[in-house]
Structure 1
């Protein structure tokens, strides 16, 4: 569980990154979860974009992926959301206390 201070720090870092995953009308499947899991391990912080033709709400998609992969939702705004999970092997982001 991350604190509000850590969440604010991660939001600042997330401003600079571009979305690397899009969620469309196909929704979320096992293959996508595997790719997101690998990307979280390498990057720790990932931004997603939910397309207008998606059958899922942005908050719903964020919650589903976060629960499935043990990640922390950082921010949900508009059609974008950001997830964070500490990496075991590639730790680069040092959170404030």
Structure 2
């Protein structure tokens, strides 16, 4: 379970994520094992990633995002439409210094 982010930390991470392009795309099959493994690698390498979710139903999209966060141990920073921003501190080489909050 990821540690909860404070509002100032979320605001800071949203600012960092603004210029990022989605690095993962969740398709019609949802959250598969290979996708979960790729999310884990992307989060370990980048810490902050955008994920595009191709689901027409809002409830399904929210479920998939929640499942991806749970399986990867990431915290949901923001979700706008079909794009979610996830954060997980790198175990090997932390890159992002979060503000205290």
Aligned to 1:29: 32
Aligned length: 97
Q: Which residue of 2 aligns with 1:20?
A: 23
TM-score, with length taken from structure 2: 0.88
Deviation at 1:52, TM superposition (A): 4.5
Q: Secondary structure in 2 aligned to 1:46?
A: strand
Q: 1:78 aligns to what?
A: 81
What is the aligned-residue RMSD (CA, Å)?
A: 1.8
Q: Shift of the alpha carbon at 1:58?
A: 2.7
The TM-score normalised by the length of structure 1 is 0.91
Task: String of CA shifts for 1:20-70, please: whole Å, max 9, x gaps.
Answer: 111111211111101110110010001011125689733222111111111
1:48 aligns to what?
A: 51
Match of 2:13 in 1: 10
Moved over 2 A (4+): 52-58
Structure 1 runs not aligned, ≥5 long: none
CA distance in 2, matches of 1:8, 1:61: 23
CA distance, structure 2, for counterparts of residue 40 and residue 27 of structure 1: 18
**CA separation of 1:71/1:83 partners in 2, compared to 1, >3 Å: closer, same or farther?**
same
Do the aligned partners of residues 45 and 6 (structure 1) sit closer, same or farther apart at CA in structure 2, a change above 3 Å counting? same
Q: Please, which runs of 5 or more residues in structure 2 have no aligned partner?
A: none
